[in-house]
Amino acid sequence: MCLQVASLNSGSNGNCYYISSDNAAVLIDVGISCKEIEKRMLRLGLSIQKIKAIFITHEHSDHIYGLIAFLKKYPLPVYITQKTLLQGIDVAPDLIHAFNAHDAVVIDNVLITAFPKQHDAADPHSFVITCNNVTVGVFTDIGTVCNNVIHYFKQCNAAFLEANYDADMLYNGRYPFILKKRISGGKGHLSNTGALDLFCKQKPSFMTHLFLSHLSHNNNTPEIAKALFKEHADGVEIIIASRFKETAIHTIEAKHNKNNIPYFKLSPAKQLQFTFN
């Protein structure tokens, strides 16, 4: 069993990630327009009819911009916390579904597990998606690498990992000081070096793909981020999740060792208590 994944868009101009098993697909965030989702999925040969649910990380516009219009055309279940919903998101009540941190939601043969993170939103969460022995994580809008991020990153065969800014570009750039502080202050975004530190220290032996995500348009470049990670890839394929177009579809499978036995991997945690670093 495998998972198929693609970033439909990744950046401050909109975020939307597609993850699918053989039977069902989910979207993590709907931060681009319904029309763009349709166009990009069509180019990838993907069917919207396969999508069974939408999961929302938080209320910032680059994660929910296209949600309401998309739901008018495709009235799918939306998994969202009450605190996030109360930030002015007008979803029809019959589409709303709650989730609990560290408790897996089952969509067909796919398990989606949420966990809280550090970000300047009402109730921000990230997600890992699992089908049989394969887990994909979406780790963006990470202010700091907390225990939750480490715990779930270590379970991933593939991950969308935020590499938002190059520190020198941010600090020497034209942004006002208050915005620089917001981005780098622990509840904003993860730098290239912060993401690399997580990758180098916590990458599991069975990880095969890393999608560098949510790159800043003004304070980073795909070339800088990819070059930094390729030096330390150690066999992991490094892909840039673009802010301008969809990625290709990537098939994520359980990595095998030389004896053709899948590497052991933890199941998603449930009802665990975590503290932030």
Radius of gyration for the chain, computed over Cα atoms and rounded to the nearest angstrom: 17
Report pLDDT for 255.
79
Kind of pairing, strands 16-20 and 105-107?
unpaired
Report pLDDT for 275.
35
Whether 63 has a pLDDT exceeding 90, the answer reads yes
* CA angle (159 as vertex; 209, 219 as ends), nearest 5: 100
pLDDT, one tens digit per residue, over 78-130 is 999 999 999 999 999 999 999 999 999 999 999 999 999 999 999 999 999 99
SS3 content of the chain, % helix, strand, coil (to 5): 25, 25, 50
Q: Which of 40, 43, 56, 4 is nearest to 25 (CA)?
A: 4
Confidence of residue 269 (pLDDT cuts 50, 70, 90): very low
Percent of the chain scoring above 90 in pLDDT: 91
pLDDT, one tens digit per residue, over 116-171 is 999 999 999 999 999 999 999 999 999 999 999 999 999 999 999 999 999 999 99
Confidence of residue 256 (pLDDT cuts 50, 70, 90): low
H/E segment holding residue 138: strand 134-139
At the topology level of CATH, where does 3-252 sit?
Answer: Metallo-beta-lactamase; Chain A (3.60.15)
